[in-house]
């Protein structure tokens, strides 16, 4: 593709005019051009203009906008990125800048975290195409990131979050000359509109009841409400904190994956596939009562050959059946903490590269930035759960509470 050219005389005249304009005019011009290009790309993406009723060629429908700041050589410009109801629209301009921002920020962060000298940082940045990045500029960048992290971690939670998942991963942090394991506690929620979000993150010394209690209370202080179901593993301190904060207003769903691991730990190797299949058949039933009936049959069948495993299954069965109280279309997304486990797996790939964080703040900065990007990606995607089904879940929970 050839670049557009301007005739020599016209180009000189144009440069003369632009030279007389303040920087804000050029920035506004860049914004107008970029916004027009994005709107045109979106029209093509959904196959229809504004208010156009074209059923034959329409591919999708409009679903509002999200604000996005994009860095350019003329400074940062604010754009309105249109959202599609079903598809995931990401304009090339934003995607290109997003990738380059990730690469640059990750490089600076990880080198700082690893204790690399500023001179080496500047050398690597030059190889990335950034010719000028002084120590003061790097400090400004980290300060800017810390501002974004603080805003993300302290933002008000104005919507209701019917579904919340909790989990932790461990990272190595240097404190007082020693390297210690710290828990990164993360809260993941599905809001009343059916969109996924990371709603909280903190770095604590241990997964104690007190640590989880303080974390959950901080979420409530920021506005967390409308919680109907909390999904987690059976960590004693975590479960106690969930009960203390949410009481009887929210059900607790024990992660089926963690529970199955506990059961399988007491099954001989040659019986594992058989017992695992029997366990899955319990949760494949269409109702909680049918699942209980199937569990009774499984426990009777294997009660002698796998006594300890069946004892654990019987004791924890009710903990893994809470998801049956919610709409059928949600159940497979609620019966385990796999969504947050998958997220933690992606985080571990980055934290493993770092190795040892020099302090908690650096760990919070890097992990929070990754979670911010993930949350932004979720917001631009199709809703994780439909709004209608979320309203059904809320009404069903209300009827249950009234009945109780």
| 292 SS3 class | helix
Reported for 20-27, long-range contacts at CB under 8 A and 24+ positions apart, including other chains, are 23/74, 23/75, 26/74, 27/74, 27/75, 27/77
Last residue in a domain, options 336, 370, 398: 336
User: Is 35 within a domain?
Assistant: yes
User: Is 126 within a domain?
Assistant: no
User: Is 294 within a domain?
Assistant: yes
For the chain, 404 residues long, give each residue's pLDDT as a single digit of tens: 455 554 554 556 655 655 565 556 666 777 787 788 888 888 778 777 766 666 566 777 777 787 777 655 555 678 888 887 776 677 776 665 554 444 455 555 555 545 555 555 566 555 555 555 555 555 666 677 788 889 999 999 999 999 999 999 998 888 888 888 999 999 999 999 999 999 999 998 888 899 999 999 999 999 999 999 999 998 899 999 999 999 888 999 999 988 999 999 999 999 999 999 999 999 999 999 999 999 999 999 999 999 999 999 999 999 999 999 999 999 999 988 878 888 888 888 777 766 777 778 878 888 888 888 888 888 877 788 998 999 998 887 654 444 44
- Residue of 187, 171, 167 whose CA lies nearest to 359: 171
Last residue in a domain, options 62, 86, 110: 86
**End-to-end CA gap in the chain:** 68
User: Is 34 within a domain?
Assistant: yes
State both tokens at 127. 């190889």
Q: Is residue 247 left, alpha or beta, with left meaning phi > 0 and alpha meaning psi from -120 to 50?
A: left
User: Is 381 within a domain?
Assistant: no
User: Is 113 within a domain?
Assistant: no
Could you give the number of structural domains in the chain? Answer: 2
Last residue in a domain, options 319, 336, 353: 336
User: Is 270 within a domain?
Assistant: yes
CB 219 within 8 A of CB 199: yes
User: Is 135 within a domain?
Assistant: no
Q: Residue 305: which domain range? A: 256-336
């Amino acid at each position: 593709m050839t670049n557009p050219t301007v005739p020599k005389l016209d180009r000189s005249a144009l440069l003369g005019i632009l030279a007389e304009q303040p920087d804000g005019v050029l920035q506004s011009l860049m914004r107008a051009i970029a916004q027009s290009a994005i709107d045109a790309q979106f029209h093509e993406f959904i196959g229809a203009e504004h208010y156009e009723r074209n059923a034959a060629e329409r591919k999708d429908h409009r679903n509002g906008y999200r604000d996005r700041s994009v860095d350019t050589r003329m400074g940062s410009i604010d754009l309105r990125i249109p959202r599609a109801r079903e598809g995931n629209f990401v304009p090339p301009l934003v995607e290109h800048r997003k990738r380059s921002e990730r690469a640059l920020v990750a490089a600076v962060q990880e080198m700082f975290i690893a204790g690399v000298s500023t001179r080496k940082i500047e050398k690597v940045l030059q190889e990335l195409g950034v010719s000028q990045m002084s120590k003061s500029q790097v400090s400004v960048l980290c300060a800017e990131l810390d501002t974004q992290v603080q805003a993300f971690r302290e933002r008000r939670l104005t919507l209701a979050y019917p579904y919340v998942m909790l989990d932790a991963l461990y990272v190595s942090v240097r404190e007082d000359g020693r390297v210690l394991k710290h828990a990164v506690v993360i809260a993941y929620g599905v809001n009343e509109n059916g969109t996924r979000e990371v709603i909280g993150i903190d770095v604590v010394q241990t997964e104690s009841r007190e640590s989880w209690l303080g974390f959950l209370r901080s979420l409530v202080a920021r506005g967390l409400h409308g919680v109907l179901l909390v999904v987690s593993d059976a960590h004693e301190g975590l479960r106690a904190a969930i009960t203390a904060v949410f009481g009887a207003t929210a059900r607790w769903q024990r992660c089926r994956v963690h529970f199955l691991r506990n059961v399988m730990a007491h099954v001989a190797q040659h019986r594992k596939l058989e017992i695992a299949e029997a366990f899955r058949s319990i949760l494949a039933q269409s109702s909680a009562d049918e699942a209980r009936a199937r569990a009774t049959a499984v426990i009777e069948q294997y009660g002698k050959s796998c006594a300890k495993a069946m004892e654990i299954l019987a004791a924890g069965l009710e903990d893994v059946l809470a998801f049956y109280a919610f709409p059928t279309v949600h159940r497979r997304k609620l019966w385990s903490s796999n969504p947050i486990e998958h997220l933690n797996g992606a985080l571990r790939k980055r934290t493993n590269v770092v190795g040892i964080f020099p302090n908690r703040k650096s760990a919070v900065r890097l992990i929070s930035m990754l979670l911010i990007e993930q949350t932004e990606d979720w917001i631009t995607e199709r809703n994780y759960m439909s709004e209608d089904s979320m309203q059904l879940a809320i009404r069903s929970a209300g009827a249950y509470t009234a009945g109780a």
